[in-house]
Amino acid sequence: MDLGLDSKVVLITGGSKGIGEAITRTFLAEGAIVANVNRSSTEGEALEAEYAAQGKQCLFIQGDLTEVTACQRAVQTTLDKFGRIDVLVNNAGVNDGVALTDGPEAFVASLQRNLIHYYAMVHYALEALRNSRGAIVNIGSKVAATGQGGTSGYAAAKGGINGMTREWALDLAADKIRVNTVIPAETWTPLYAELINQSEDPQAAKQQIEDIIPLGKRFTTSQEIADMVVFLSSQRSLHTTGQIHYVDGGYTHLDRKYTSGSNNVDLSKS
Ligand code: NAP
């Protein structure tokens, strides 16, 4: 399937690591040009050099997206360098565990880490996206639908992203800009591995999570998230907008009665 992404310009946030890195690499494999804004530099610079050696462009833009000026600069730098933006992927975020007990200041800071820059990136890239009739893909989280406890800021941010997905899809339909969100639930990344490795028995901790993932009893791969993001950004997805797409092996929506690792329900009788 030709996705028609050759030479398209993709601006991604947090494209150096984890899910973002997989998205960056998948767009590049499809022939796109990538601009990647990320806080830490090492991985982003390495990606830029790796792809430059192959004659491909993966521009690294250093910036902390909690500052809206970094969002504006990322958009401007991309336009100065490539002259257009065809796809915006809002991906950067962190489950920072800001809870009810942490207070309003911490809550606002969590929204800055996880929500405000999604809005700011779209705001600053709007004219360019109008010119290209581009696409926006946001990365959300299951927590907007499930709750998790102890993470009010992150949950509010991810709920807000779902809300803005529909809002923007309507706002921008006349401009033929499509807006979609992809939801990971349990996606295996180096950061996730690091967290699991902190538990007393990492193997058991991983197994416990895998047991409640219905499809294949395994984590989603970053590649599987990236494939959906790239498809939604492409010419093969021209009539899909305002949607929340769960790429989670059925984790969020399938009936726990049938999918919990500890149950004895005979699925053949259901
Ligand atoms: P990750 O491995 O930590 O990668 C996040 C990337 O974003 C890193 O490169 C990080 O750079 C960058 N970043 C974060 N905050 C930034 C900021 N303020 N300014 C600039 N760059 C920033 O995390 P991930 O698991 O791939 O998560 C990616 C997205 O998926 C997030 O929106 C997350 O909420 C969502 N998600 C993931 C899972 C999962 O299971 N992995 C589940 C649900 C939702 P630094 O290293 O410099 O911080």
Classify residue 209: in a domain, yes or no.
no
**Dist. CA 71–CA 73, nearest whole Å:** 5
User: Which residue has the CA at smallest separation from atom 16 of ligand 1?
Assistant: 92
Hey, which residues are catalytic here?
A: 154
Residue 206 lies in a domain: no
* 59 within a domain of the structure (yes/no): yes
Q: Distance, CA 190 to ligand 1 centroid (Å)?
A: 11
Tokens of 174: 């006349």
Indicate the number of domains in the chain. 1
The Cα 129–Cα 136 span in angstroms is 9
Does 257 map to a domain?
A: no
Yes or no: say if 48 and 71 are a contact pair by the CB < 8 Å rule: no
Please give the residue range of the domain that contains residue 236: 9-187+221-248
Residue 120 domain flag: yes
Q: In the prediction, which pLDDT does 258 show?
A: 83
Q: Are strands 9-13 and 87-90 parallel, antiparallel or unpaired?
A: parallel
Q: Which pLDDT does position 261 carry in this prediction?
A: 59
Instruction: Look at residue 157 and tell me if it is in a domain.
Output: yes
Across the chain, which distance is largest between two alpha carbons, in Å?
61
18 lines ligand 1 (CB under 6 A): yes
Distance 263 CA to ligand 1 centre (A): 33
In a domain, 205, yes or no: no
- 169 CB neighbour count, 10 Å cutoff: 19
Q: Whole-prediction pTM value?
A: 0.97
Is residue 113 lining ligand 1, measured as CB closer than 6 Å?
A: yes
The answer as to whether 239 is a domain residue is: yes
CATH number at residue 76: 3.40.50.720
20, 14 contact by CB (below 8 A): yes
Ligand 1 centre distance from Cα of residue 154 (Å): 12
Is the distance from CB of 207 to CB of 6 less than 8 angstroms? no
139 secondary structure, DSSP code: E
- The confidence score (pLDDT) of residue 30 equals 98
Helix (H, G, I), strand (E, B) or coil at 137: strand
User: Could you tell me if 179 and 241 are in contact, meaning their C-beta atoms sit under 8 angstroms apart?
Assistant: yes
Q: Is residue 78 in contact with ligand 1, taking CB distance under 6 Å? A: no
- How far is residue 82 from each of residues 33, 36, 137, 168, 224, measured CA to CA in Å? 9, 13, 20, 25, 28
Q: Give the C-alpha distances (Å, rounded to integers) separating 16 from 12, 108, 156, 259.
A: 9, 25, 25, 34
What pLDDT was estimated at residue 256?
A: 87
Contact between 17 and 191 under an 8 Å Cβ cutoff? The reply is yes
pLDDT at res. 90: 99
Q: Which residues pair with 10 in a beta bridge?
A: 34, 87
- The pLDDT tens digits along the chain (270 residues) read 999 999 999 999 999 999 999 999 999 999 999 999 999 999 999 999 999 999 999 999 999 999 999 999 999 999 999 999 999 999 999 999 999 999 999 999 999 999 999 999 999 999 999 999 999 999 999 999 999 999 999 999 999 999 999 999 999 999 999 999 999 999 999 999 999 999 999 999 999 999 999 999 999 999 999 999 999 999 999 999 999 999 999 999 999 888 875 554 555 544
3-state SS track over 60-81: EEECCCCCHHHHHHHHHHHHHH
Residue 12: strand, helix, or coil: strand
Question: What number of CA atoms fall less than 13 Å from residue 214's CA on the CB side?
Answer: 14
Helices (H), the chain: 18-29, 42-52, 68-82, 104-111, 117-132, 143-146, 152-173, 190-197, 202-210, 222-232, 256-259
